[in-house]
Chain A
Amino acid sequence: MSAYTEGIICVLCINAIAVMGVSLVTGYTGIFSLGHAGYMAIGAYTAAILTARYSFYFIPAIVAGGLLAALIAYIIGVPTLKLVGDYYAIASIGLGEAIRLILENGGTFTRGARGFPGIPNYTNLTVAVCSFVIMAFLMFNLINGRFGRAFKACRDDYIAASLLGYNTAKYRILSLVISGFYCGVAGALLGGFLLYIKPLMFDMMKSTELTSVVVFGGLGSMSGTLLGMVIITLITEVFRPISQYRMLIYGAILVIIMVLRPEGIMGQYEFGPGMFKAIKEKFKGDHYSEEGRKV
């Protein structure tokens, strides 16, 4: 396998972990965040400082990155909980940018806007793939059980959810914290892959990329998110020669999806036995019109 292919797979794995986190919080729990690149930044810088400056072994460094990001997500999440829709989106942009600005102004500790070089190369193919497999395993398990159902209930109708006894605040915070962890880990892995990070890598553009992948794949479908990410990453690679069009294509995809098919590629379906049953139900079973009459 060529170094190029290895690199692509590493990038895919890293991005996959990040978008799974964003998918959980935006697609499943309905919190539209545009600041998750900030958590990647926290994870990346934590792992970079721990490994490059204090000679930590990489695994605890990555976990520490994830945990710190999760902690910040919690600290930010609690006060911003009561914000709805657009307000939260703006807050998340603000907070994401604030994280980036703090890192840029971090003096010698974070090496500022020029970036942090000299990160040891701990993210090789094995590490990336294993990390992805573990994180994916945990995530799919989580959403295929009572937590997935609870998150979706909080998303679909938080008043109804609270009237079923759900402390919706608790579930939303949990979802934010987990997504923070995932993005932190992804950021840490990214640092070990690029060997160099700078705050500008984790700006609002990056956050928008993460969120648009989730939207493209389908809000509420984890497998759709992964499928969407693979498609978009591959398209980006194919178009690398004309890479200045890359962002233009991103933007256009977002608009087109929202106009034509807002539910994304997969809608709310997941790959797996459930999907076939659901599709069968839709086509072969009894047909019901919107009002519920049998047609």
Chain B
Amino acid sequence: MMAKKSNQNVLQLENLTKYFGGVPAVNDISFSIEEGKLAGLIGPNGAGKTTIFNLITGVYPPDSGKILFWGEDITYLKTYQAIGRNMARTFQNLRLFPHSTALENVMVALQQHHSYSFIEAITHLGGWGKKEREIKAKSMDILDRVGLADRANQKARTLPYGMQRRLEIARALALEPKFLFLDEPAAGMNPEEVNALNTLILGIHKELKFTILVIEHHMDLVMEICSHIICMNFGTKIAEGNPMEIQSHPEVLKAYLGE
């Protein structure tokens, strides 16, 4: 099948399976995400959604199956190697560096692509000063974009919950990824905050032209912003399609509402 280059599959999962103990958390999952899409991964708790993210980002290896990223087999890459392929992710339970400031959290991510040598680091010579200023400036830009510029010097763990979630996204953006994985970005948010988040994600998607895959429970968020949705339950894929198709899919309704 000849696909046009602009509709290339960025992410391709083939028969992915992962067992924990005797239980398949992910059971023979296959799907693909096209470049530039804003896609959603939904399903009840325990469906295996976060496990999929963990498998893709190399937190643990699958028991069988393949993961292709931009055509490259990344199935058994270690975490930092997978991230190095220009992907970034956020966490369901937030993993900010609690004692660092918001700005420092972003800088840690951003400096990956704006680096300098060890010698420059210990002598502060060469282009050190300029590069440090650049890291700081670009990090402030990103904080600004997510609306946290005035909280730059505040310790991450003292930020209100909604802002911590936004900081987590800011950190992911600072990695300058081409694919963004968001794991329940709206968890614990009130409707007003969810709306703001929607706007943010849509804005990022439009402006930076990433491919984004969102795990979410909030149906309103997913239905509103995603164009391609995959639904899982008990580790298997039970439905895939656009929001309209998913909304009326009998398996999906059964999974969420019970029999």
Contacts and interface: CB of A to CB of B under 8 A. Distances in A.
A and B touch in the complex (CB under 8 A): yes
Given A146-B116, A288-B154, A288-B158, A163 B95 contact: yes
Given A146-B115, A165-B83, A291-B160, A281 B154 contact: yes
Contacts of A243: none
A147 B59 contact: no
Interface in A221-247: none
A197 B57 CA distance: 51
Interface in B101-140: 104, 107-109, 111-112, 115-116, 118, 121-124, 128, 132, 135
Interface in A19-66: none
Contacts of A160: 91, 95-97
A219 B78 CA distance: 30
B100 interface: yes
B154 A152 contact: no
A164 B83 contact: yes
A17 to B, nearest CB: 15
Interface stretch (A99-107, A122-130, A137-145, A252-260): A137-145
Given A162-B79, A163-B57, A293 B160 contact: yes
Nearest to A156: B97
Counting chain A CB atoms within 10 Å of each CB, the highest count among B79, B123, B171 belongs to B79
A114 interface: no
A153 B109 CA distance: 10
A82 interface: no
Contact of A153 (B78, B88, B97, B164): B97
Nearest to B116: A146
B159 interface: yes
A159 interface: yes
Interface in B165-214: 171, 175
Contacts of A153: 97, 108
Contacts of B115: 146
A220 B100 CA distance: 11
A292 B157 CA distance: 8
B157 to A, nearest CB: 8
A284 interface: no
A208 to B, nearest CB: 25
A157 B95 contact: yes
A142 B153 contact: no
Contact of B158 (A150, A165, A292): A292
Contacts of A220: 99
A168 interface: yes
Contacts of A146: 111, 115-116, 121, 135
A292 B115 CA distance: 33
Interface string A264-293: 000010000000011001000000111111
Interface size class, chain A: 20 to 34
B20 interface: no
A149 interface: yes
Counting chain B CB atoms within 10 Å of each CB, the highest count among A147, A163, A164 belongs to A163
Contact of B124 (A141, A150, A157, A164): A141
Interface residues of B, number: 43
Contacts of A250: none
A136 B67 CA distance: 47
Nearest to B79: A162
Contacts of A278: 153
Contacts of A157: 95, 97
A291 B162 CA distance: 11
Given A156-B98, A157-B97, A149 B160 contact: no
A196 interface: no
A142 to B, nearest CB: 5
B153 A152 contact: no
A168 B80 contact: yes
A166 interface: yes
B158 A290 contact: yes
Contact of A152 (B91, B100, B111, B116): B100
A79 B128 CA distance: 33
Counting chain B CB atoms within 10 Å of each CB, the highest count among A152, A167, A291, A292 belongs to A292
B84 interface: yes
Nearest to B181: A163
B79 to A, nearest CB: 4
Contacts of A156: 97-100
A149 B111 contact: yes
A148 to B, nearest CB: 9
B83 A162 contact: yes
Interface in B19-56: none
Contacts of B161: 291-292
A141 B158 contact: no
B134 to A, nearest CB: 12
7 contacts: A161-B108, A163-B57, A164-B83, A164-B108, A288-B154, A292-B159, A293-B160
Given A147-B121, A166-B112, 7 more contacts: A142-B122, A146-B121, A149-B111, A163-B83, A163-B89, A167-B80, A220-B99
Q: Which 4 A-B pairs have the closest CB atoms?
A: A292-B160, A160-B95, A165-B83, A162-B79
